[in-house]
Amino acid sequence: MTVHHHPPDELLAAFAAGTIDLGQHVAIATHLVSCAKCRGAVRAMEHVGGAVLAALPPTAMSDGSFEALQRRLDEASGNSAAVRRRGRAFRDVPGLPDFLDSYPDSSWRWIAPKVHLRPIRLPEQSATRVFLLRSSPGTRMIEHTHTGFEMTCVLSGSFVHAGGWFGPGDFDFGDGAVDHDIRIDSAEDCICLVAMQGDLRLNGVIGRLLQPLIRM
């Protein structure tokens, strides 16, 4: 798989430093599953961060912090009892990070002609919403703008917009200034993982009619 579009360096650095919320973490982790270049960059950043931490004087940890860390590691590695009970969520969608196995599964729902959405419910509060979006071949996404940012990871299929061609493994970062006019150009469905903050505003008459339907 050749990856052409990557997250900005600032986002990779924030991922490595653990300063982004869980929704954004899911999007970056999804990109890392298929991008060796960014995995290498994050590893190098974590190494630098680790060296800085090692040079700091030790501080006492609060009560229960070790147990909380162990719990999170268990969840991330799929070791917890809840994960073993539930089995693998999203097993029909390849290219997602393993830790999503432990999240509650959900089903596709119609949001617009030829477009289906499947929410990913995060186990903790996050200002960033995460969902899968499946669009049929030839779909022209309704022109839209967003008030916050939008991170898109292509899992299968492909799309084009003014910023170029995006295929499996590619990462698209859009902020409020971007006005997308997206066309699905693959012969099969295009499935993306999307992490989004703010509101999506659909433009035009049809967009305004559909607006109430895309609320999550």
The site for Zn ion (CB under 5 A) is made up of 6, 35, 38
* CA-closest candidate to residue 189, choices 129, 125, 116: 116
CB-wise, 35 or 115, nearer to Zn ion? 35
Least distance to Zn ion from the beta carbon of 42, Å?
A: 9
CB-wise, 27 or 141, nearer to Zn ion? 27
- Dihedral sign computed on CA atoms, order 15, 98, 35, 160: negative
Least distance to Zn ion from the beta carbon of 31, Å?
A: 6
Instruction: For the sheet with 183-184, list strands across it.
Output: 164-166, 159-161, 183-184
Token pair 């309704």 is found at 142
Least distance to Zn ion from the beta carbon of 101, Å?
A: 23
CB-wise, 28 or 100, nearer to Zn ion? 28
CB-wise, 11 or 38, nearer to Zn ion? 38
Beta-carbon contacts of 79 under 8 Å, excluding residues fewer than 6 positions away, are 73
Name the burial class of residue 27, with classes exposed (0-12), middle (13-18) and buried (19+) by CB atoms within 10 angstroms of its CB. buried
Least distance to Zn ion from the beta carbon of 170, Å?
A: 8
Q: What is the DSSP string of 138-159?
A: T-BPPPEEESS-EEEEEEES-E
Least distance to Zn ion from the beta carbon of 12, Å?
A: 8
Beta-carbon contacts of 134 under 8 Å, excluding residues fewer than 6 positions away, are 108, 115, 116, 117, 118, 189, 190, 191
CB-wise, 94 or 204, nearer to Zn ion? 94
CB-wise, 6 or 72, nearer to Zn ion? 6
- Please give the C-alpha separations between residue 186 and each of 131, 143, 193, 207, in angstroms, as whole numbers: 21, 19, 17, 24
Least distance to Zn ion from the beta carbon of 4, Å?
A: 9
